[in-house]
Amino acid sequence: MNLRDIASIKSLFDAIGRVDSIVASAGHVHFGPLVEMTPEQFCLSLDDKLMGQVNLVLGARDYLNDGGSFTLTSGIIGDAPILQGASAASVNGAIEGSVRGAAIELPRGLRINVISPTMLEEAREASGRSFAVSKRRAASGARVALAYSRSVEGAETERMYERVYIRCIEMQWTRDAYLLTTDIERFQFDVVHQYLSEVAYWSPGISREKIERAARHSIAFGLFLDDTQIGYARMITDTATFAYLADVFMLPEHQGKGLSK
């Protein structure tokens, strides 16, 4: 369906019938330097990602069963702007605002949520470069979910909302061909697991699942040469008063070069 066209939306749901939930992860945005951006380029994001999802709510609300839910997609750029992302930041903030407003008005116990995921694989080819260029300048502290709900119909109108946070401190440094990063989504946990379970004296036989869970509950550092991970460490910390450095290693063929220091 074409999210810019309410008639197209209704036509699809006329064919599908009633549903319990609708999830939207669609929407184009324009990335580019603000000083070079035209009003038409800025409006692309407003007309597509913002109004497309608003149209979905307006066009499909009557096809949701009682107590059903919408889930829309905003993005972390609304809270942690990146270079060349002014248009996207505006749209993401507007989507969250529209959800807050809709949450207290939807009838029949309908619910509406907005989430801020990591990058969708489908968007990587079109938008990945913008994130890669700007990630080192981005603010930390990624909100991964933002949900709003309304009290059951017939009760006093009340907006209730819940914010869920995950600690996500993103930093990176480069030297020659080396990259040190805390972007855990880039980590090659097969490499980390093989070293910690088979080579490291302090964690023989440790499972891959436990290694990854420990990393995600720490501030983890990965060292890369080109696109290959060659080193790892993690900081167990409350980010305020305490930190313990653990699981530090460098693959044997890269030792003796001062990289772990």
H or E element, residue 180:
strand 178-181
Per-residue pLDDT of 243-261, as tens digits, reads 999 999 999 999 999 998 8
Average pLDDT of span 162-174:
58
- With residues binned 3-state (H G I as helix, E B as strand, rest as coil), the percentages for the chain, rounded to 5, are 40, 25, 35
The reply to whether 172-254 shares the fold of 6-165 is: no
Domain boundaries, the chain: 6-165, 172-254
Q: Which two tokens stand for residue 94?
A: 């507007």
At the fourth CATH level, the homologous superfamily of domain 6-165 is NAD(P)-binding Rossmann-like Domain (3.40.50.720)
Separation between Cα atoms, residue 118 and residue 260, nearest integer Å: 29
Percent of the chain clearing pLDDT 90 (strictly above): 62
Cα-Cα-Cα-Cα dihedral sign, residues 215, 249, 254, 175: positive
User: pTM for this structure?
Assistant: 0.51
Whether residue 138 is predicted with pLDDT greater than 90 in this model: the reply is: no
The mean pLDDT value of the chain amounts to 83
Residue 147's DSSP bridge partners are 113, 162
Does domain 172-254 fall under CATH 2.60.40.420? My reply is no
Q: In what order do the strands lie in the sheet with 111-115?
A: 19-23, 64-73, 111-115, 143-150, 159-165
Please tell me the predicted confidence (pLDDT) of residue 96: 92
Give the C-alpha separation, 153 to 67, whole Å: 10
pLDDT at 129: 60
